[in-house]
Amino acid sequence: MLIADNHVVTLHYTVKTTEGEAIDSSLDAEPLAFIQGSNFMIAGLEEALYGKQKGDAFEVTVAPEKAYGDRHEQLVQKVPANMFEGMDVEVGMSFRATTDGGEQSVTIIDKDDEHVTVDGNHPLSGHTLLFDVSIEDVREATSDEIEHGHVHGAGGCGHQH
């Protein structure tokens, strides 16, 4: 069965930067299962899956615009440290912040006694990503899976909708 929209794809992957730095892998865990065409995966990887089938293994390079987008320096801001009063903030921490544009994930990238610098870019924005993928299984999604927008395990999805 060739991968198409509304098929459940089960795969193993490893993703690296163009410098060869490993970012993430499913090889030491259960394979990832999702509904193709549901925008669960980054666009460049999902596009590369169309027409593949169980047993296929391939590599794909995904440019930033088909992954996590380009970096936007205006999303890096230095804010007064007193905005974090009562919190023990450290470089590398991520949290949700309320902005003029709504809720946004930010990461603390620098701090001193007077200021904290936060970055609203996704940590992988601006990066070209290299994926090694092996397709473990492909099947048609059930009508419940399509309606709910996610893959169900044996016995259903385990929660109420």
Alpha helices per DSSP H over the chain: 43-49, 143-148
Please list the residue range(s) of the chain that carry CATH number 2.40.10.330. Answer: 73-119
- pLDDT digit string, tens, across residues 8-63: 999 999 999 999 999 999 999 999 999 999 999 999 999 999 999 999 999 999 99
Q: What is the pLDDT of residue 42?
A: 95
Reported residue count of the chain is: 161
CA distance 91 to 104: 17
pTM: 0.80
Give, in words, the CATH class of 73-119. mainly beta
Which CATH number applies to 7-68+125-148: 3.40.50.720, 3.40.50.1820, 3.90.190.20, 3.10.50.40?
3.10.50.40
